[in-house]
Structure 1
Amino acid sequence: MEIKLFKPTLKDIDAMQALVKGEVDKGIILLRTPDEMATTIRSYTCISVDDEIVGFTALHVHSPKLAEVRSLVVNEKYRGLKLGQKLVEACKVEAKALNLEEILSLTYQKGFFESLGFEMINKEDLPEHKIWADCIRCKHFPVCDEVALIYKL
């Protein structure tokens, strides 16, 4: 089994959309249209097993100090192989290279992110533009049951 982290190209968007569809349908991950993914393709990192994309995430920069791990997904067949951990670690490396100070995660997977060094914070401490730019698009808005966690670089 060959596992590879890589930056996707525009031709990978269809496979990425297919992979995340179930999580979007459940309301676990926000919908990103193919056009939105295209305009932010540089923020994504994919992971493949034997040349099949089985997971991805994005590191979205909010400010010169703060970025967010977004849209983290791993195909159910490949969970338990620490592929999600590899994706988040890649985000940490990228964030350090950009000289960011913190990485945010809004998630239902509190324990997973805590195991990677993230600490829970109050959602009220999130930047206001984050709430209105993304959260208003969520099917659960305004009753949010995600938790906010931060990783200090």
Structure 2
Amino acid sequence: MKKKKTRGKIREARVSDTHAIQEIINFYAKKGKMIPRSLSEVCENIRSYFLYEKGNEILGVCNLRVYWSDMGEVCSLAVKKKAFGRGIGSQLINKCIAEAKKVEIKKVFALTYEPDFFIKKGFVKVDKSDLPQKIWSDCIRCLKFPHCDEIALIKNLDEES
């Protein structure tokens, strides 16, 4: 039986959301599926987070990080387990892509354990060595470095109408 789409809304994060954002992200980080985020990291980047909210509950989060002049990263995509299969992750990705286009980012990338999800959104696999800024700013701090098992994907936004 297919779950029906959850009727909620996507909005920009507020400082009052920091604990909820961290809780959702770190739930998956404890399972080795994401990089953990401290409260200070979430606060410092609060303006780049988008949330999916239904009622007063945050069900999903995603971050659009501007990496360099033409590149952004879709990161920290997490949806509460009880809300899986309702299109929340797709809506958050779509919001990040729309925001990237607004600020004239040409490409967005992601590192993930769920490559098929991103491929359905038009991303293509690339070698992590194609993302040196990511490797030397973030990956180098990861416990799995240099044996990362995430898949790197990229989407060229210039190819979309």
Which TM-score tier does this pair reach, normalised by the shorter chain? over 0.9
RMSD: 1.1
Matches within 5 A, 1:5-84: 5-84=10-89
Q: Which runs of 4+ in 1 moved over 2 A?
A: none
Matches within 5 A, 1:113-152: 113-126=118-131, 128-152=132-156
* Partner SS for 1:62: strand
**2:102 counterpart of 1:97:** yes
Find the aligned partners of 1:140 and 1:58 in 2 and give their Cα distance. Answer: 22
**2:92 counterpart of 1:87:** yes
Q: Number of aligned pairs?
A: 152
Structure 2 stretches lacking a partner, 5+ long: 1-5
| Amino acid across the alignment from 2:153 | L
Q: Percent identity?
A: 38
* Partner SS for 1:87: helix
Find the aligned partners of 1:80 and 1:88 in 2 and give their Cα distance. Answer: 14
Structure 1 stretches lacking a partner, 5+ long: none
Find the aligned partners of 1:3 and 1:89 in 2 and give their Cα distance. Answer: 15
Does structure 2 conserve the Cα–Cα contact (< 8 Å) formed by 1:2 and 1:50? no
